[in-house]
Amino acid sequence: MTVVPAPIPGEPPAAATGADREAIGLVLALARALHRYGTPAHRLEEALAVLAGSLGLRAEFFSTPTTIIVTFGAPEDLRTAMQRVEGGELDMDKLARLDAIADAVIDRQLTPAAARARIDEIVAAPRRWSRVVSTLAHGVVTAAVVVFFHGSAVDVAVAGGIGLLLGVLAQLLQRSTAQARVFELVGAFIAAFVAGVIAAHVAGVSSSVVTIAGLLVLMPGLTLTNAMTELATDNLISGTARMMAAIIVLLELAIGVAVGEHAAAAMVTIPAATPVPLPAWSEWLAVVASAVAMVVIVGAAPRAAGWIIVATLTGFVGARTGTSLLGPELGVLVGAFALGALVNVYARVLRRPGQVILVPAVLLLVPGSVGFRGISSMLHRNTLTGIETTFAMFVVAMAIVAGLLIANAAVSPRRVL
């Protein structure tokens, strides 16, 4: 077997020539782009297999969170390309446009060379939403989450302010890789410290509720859910790597919060406050507001906003119904099934990637806050409580995955993405 590295991102193996070279270059470029915008391993490999088959290529794919390996040709004459990749950027608008390009190539409406040029344009294009709008969206979704944790109106206002701070921090730390790697740690410290200081000076503020809500945009809940999905679909290496990445982020959040709480306690006396929950109808308003904010956070196009709101409401109602029937841990299975069925209908009827509406909706179902509480309890030497809570996190994550897998079996999307 001849192993040919790809010296330039997206470049095909040197042994390929002519039309095959253009087709291979397209496959590699699309693989890197889809991976960059958060496509899990099983969907990425299936999508690339469909594209390669339509181009007359014989190819095998292997994806992990940091590497994509592709082999072209018959087993006795393989050409292999390995690409080092960085994933985790949520941009559903670009993902949808990449999916449209792949469809156009499969339908023979675009040549591989023309499709490759369009992929480069999409990757180089700025995000759909400006930095100011993205920062405001962080504040809105953080404020909305307080309602789900039964916080008071004052808690909502304080959490919204912390969300704005984290939104500004996200924009500042995106400028370099080294700074981006400490975003969760620094963000958790700021959320806990600010919440503690404000709780000491403003009556009625629950620092614990505000802190948990402020951490929503930092939680690795989606990473954890993708990891469980990949493990359930036999993508063991990728799933294990994502699982460890999620656990590391939870540890960073727990450490950041612990340091922030100690720093605040050294300066002020943080009182214990019992929040007064808002009326029940406020939860519906919070669901809609968080869904609208998620449209911006995941970079979805405005035309998808209505579908995202409906998907979020579907998951929310399904989870509430399931909780009353199966309990809090397994109840999300019903919500995930209802959400998955709607997503598959969307993908099947409109011929658009289901991830566009699945990702923002499932972010409100994922058990990130449960995992944080488990890790935090273990750091505070409450070992039994920590283990119990962490196990509950995995049960909730698996329930979500089970609901989505059952939905895929019951309502086929007839699409890979």
Range of the domain at 341: 131-410
Considering the domain boundaries, does residue 267 fall inside one? yes
pLDDT value, residue 2? 34
Burial 296-335 (b: 16+ CB within 10 A, else e): bbbbbbeebbebbbebbbbbbbbbeebbeeeeebbbbbbb
Please give the Cα distance from 96 to 105 (Å, whole number): 14
pTM attached to this predicted model = 0.84
- Bridge partners of 62, per DSSP, are 69
Do 160 and 242 belong to one domain?
A: yes
pLDDT value, residue 9? 46
Do 137 and 24 belong to one domain?
A: no
Nearest-CA neighbor of 255 among 326, 192, 166, 332? Answer: 192
Do 117 and 215 belong to one domain?
A: no
Please give the Cα distance from 323 to 159 (Å, whole number): 26
Considering the domain boundaries, does residue 105 fall inside one? yes
Single residue among 74, 104, 124 that ends a domain in this structure: 124
Q: How many helices and strands, by DSSP H and E, does the chain display?
A: 17, 4
Do 287 and 401 belong to one domain?
A: yes
CB neighbour list of residue 221: distance below 8 Å, 6 or more residues apart? 363, 366, 367, 368, 369, 371, 397
Own/partner pairs, 327-334, CB within 8 angstroms, 24+ separation: 329/392, 329/395, 329/396, 329/399, 330/395, 330/399, 331/399, 332/365, 332/367, 332/396, 332/399, 332/400, 332/403, 333/399, 333/400, 333/402, 333/403, 334/403
pLDDT value, residue 371? 46
Single residue among 124, 156, 183 that ends a domain in this structure: 124
Nearest-CA neighbor of 27 among 67, 65, 69? Answer: 69
Do 115 and 191 belong to one domain?
A: no
pLDDT value, residue 21? 86
> What's at 230, amino acid-wise?
E
Do 248 and 192 belong to one domain?
A: yes
| SS3 (DSSP) at 84 | strand
Give the Å distances, CA to CA, from 193 to 112, 208, 268, 271, 348: 52, 11, 10, 14, 47
Helix ranges (H only) for 174-271 are 177-180, 183-201, 207-214, 221-232, 236-267
Nearest-CA neighbor of 356 among 91, 144, 163? Answer: 91
Do 144 and 218 belong to one domain?
A: yes
Single residue among 92, 124, 156 that ends a domain in this structure: 124
pLDDT value, residue 376? 54
Q: How many structural domains compose the chain? A: 2
- Bridge partners of 60, per DSSP, are 71
CB neighbour list of residue 10: distance below 8 Å, 6 or more residues apart? 25, 28, 29, 32, 83, 116
Considering the domain boundaries, does residue 417 fall inside one? no
Do 153 and 107 belong to one domain?
A: no
Considering the domain boundaries, does residue 415 fall inside one? no
What is the chain's pLDDT, residue by residue, as a tens digit (417 residues)? Answer: 333 344 444 455 444 456 788 899 999 999 999 998 888 888 899 999 999 999 989 999 999 888 999 999 877 777 888 888 876 678 899 999 999 999 999 888 999 999 999 999 999 999 889 989 999 999 999 998 888 888 888 989 999 999 999 888 888 877 766 667 788 889 889 998 999 899 888 888 888 888 888 887 787 777 877 888 888 888 888 889 888 888 888 888 888 888 898 899 899 888 877 777 888 888 899 999 999 999 999 999 999 999 999 999 998 888 888 888 887 777 888 888 999 999 999 998 888 888 899 988 887 776 544 544 555 554 555 656 656 666 777 777 788 888 888 998 888 876 666
pLDDT value, residue 341? 93
Nearest-CA neighbor of 342 among 322, 318, 372, 320? Answer: 318
Nearest-CA neighbor of 417 among 364, 361, 350? Answer: 350
Please give the Cα distance from 246 to 251 (Å, whole number): 9
Do 269 and 220 belong to one domain?
A: yes
